[in-house]
Structure 1
Amino acid sequence: MSVSRYIYLLLVVGLLTCSVPDAGAQNIFGRLKDKLSGKSAAGERASKKKSDKSVTAIDPAELSLDENVMLPRVGDKQHKAVADYMGQLAKKLASRKLARIELTRGGEVVVATIGTDQLFAPNDTVLRDNAQEFLRPYADLLKQVGMYKIIVVCHTDDTGSENYTDRLSEARASAVYDYLLKNQLESVDLLSYALGAAEPCVPNDSRDNRAKNRRVEIYVVPDMLILEMAKSDKLQFRN
């Protein structure tokens, strides 16, 4: 065997035995959340994305409504300050008399309920011209980036097939989502769910009850900036 051919074989063997970098070791840190995935994932869960076996990036759109309402959690020491703050926000929203305002999660989360008849024409999915009067306060809250997570939940009555009510609530949830997202920064915390006729608040046994079941619920959840201010005793409500 010639010397040149021997050297060539050594080079080939060396290349074959070199270790290949593990692709799983690259890009192991995924984004914690894609803020714009809420609309397309309304009422659905996307499959979990794993960059490797040890690190999992969790998208809020993968979580159920109940799970999202519970996050982020408020520490026991900050509960009173956060609940007092959100209580004052609830009073301010209630003073407009354009939605039913309630508190949940021990007073930490505001829930605004607006009849969809106020926002949409019958069987329509385009917001009425005056819908912004009802929705503007929640768009304004989103402009305070980091202060609030807002979750839009759209319900229908049981008129029509399940496929129809599901599609109607999804299209309406998307319309509200798009309005709230307009002119916002990409970092806003906004999600939407479409539940169709699956969760009536009253039996669908009369015209009045069906009107009550046709509703949009807007959850206003204290986000990380409120929690940080509560920890440093700097959380004060300002009108």
Structure 2
Amino acid sequence: MDRTRHNNVLKVNLREAGYEQGKAVIRNVQLQVQSGELIGLIGPNGAGKSTTIKSILGLMPYLQGEIELGGANRRYAYVPEQPVLYEYFTLWEHLRLAASAYGMREEQFEERALELLERFRLSGERHHYPVKFSKGMQQKLMLIIGFLLEPDVYIVDEPFVGLDPRATGDFLELLEAERVRGAGVLMCTHVLDTAERICQGFILINDGTVVAQGGLDEVRVQAGSSSDASLFECFRRLT
């Protein structure tokens, strides 16, 4: 995979990380995401994907390594697998809180927020309470908050959970637009057929360490698979 065209917006070197010293959950995890690049973080349950994401976000109690955030604004948006909601905040108040935290101008916030609400068909819910929404609607809100900020890096954890096909299409269109804008994306997912179609590169993790990394052709070689093997077939061989 050609990694010379763009600048790194995320560079990670995790020698080890865990919940207490001496009990590392992940070791020797190195990855980078470049501007305009979508990288899939792939692995079975318990492989260390969540620990890797938490390490990048600075949430692990024990960590040895370095995390470098690049880009013009040096900021990221995190879209969690499980929505994080405030019980007494309306949908609009959730968006306004995120915008305030990042210092967005009021005009910029309103224009972008209304556009995204329209895109995800949530305009009529703006003054309702998301804690009462369906799982899919709550996930849409998390995506809207991420896209609202237009960061240098997106860190997205299992974004397809709960989304219907139409919302999935909306998400993929926006993700592509952000990639074209120059944002980098690190996306953790189990939806391997979609990952194979949209990602420029992959990081496969198993038993707490990286077992393959690069474009699909490179992953095929590392997995000892045929030149036409799918990402799923490589995943099976490596994990």
Q: TM-score, normalised by structure 1?
A: 0.30
Which structure's CA Rg is the greater one? Answer: 1
The one of the two structures with greater contact order (alpha-carbon pairs below 8 A, sep at least 6) is 2
